[in-house]
Amino acid sequence: MLAPTEDMQLFVATTPVDMRKSINGLILEVVHSLGGNPQASSLYIFRNKNSNLIKALFWDYDGFVLIQKRLEKYKFQFPKCAGTASIQISKPQLRWLLSGFEFDRISKNKGLDYSDYC
């Protein structure tokens, strides 16, 4: 299981990319499509058109690390995001994404506030 560092920011690309791309191709996606710095303390997650394959790219002090996961039966769940190249997610949302759950639902529950008990 991928364990991001404390200062690592997590970004998910909102549009599918060609999964034939490896490290160099995904670095170009980070720079040109997402406007990010591939050597920053960030993890960039990309998906294919069918949403059954994701690749994650990050810089690890002296080189890039590329991680790939394919779901055999199901699809990764991504929110519909129009007008933005990427969205930033939290560490719990990353765990949900890698498990195939709808990771955007984890942040929607703001809890309950019972201020009136009458």
- Assess if residue 116 is contained within a domain: no
| Structural domain of 28 | 9-107
Q: Is the pLDDT of residue 97 over 90?
A: no
Count of domains in the chain?
1
- Assess if residue 54 is contained within a domain: yes
Q: Is the pLDDT of residue 66 over 90?
A: yes
Under the banding of pLDDT at 50, 70 and 90, the label for residue 81 is confident
Model confidence pTM above 0.85: no
Q: What is the pLDDT of residue 68?
A: 95
Q: What is the pLDDT of residue 39?
A: 93
- Assess if residue 117 is contained within a domain: no
Please state the three-class secondary structure of 45-102 as a single string. EEECCCCCEEEEEEECCCCEEEEEEECCCCCCCCCCCCCCCEEEECHHHHHHHHHCCC
- Assess if residue 72 is contained within a domain: yes
- Assess if residue 20 is contained within a domain: yes
pLDDT, tens digit, 9 for 90 and up, residues 39-63: 998 999 999 999 999 999 999 889 9
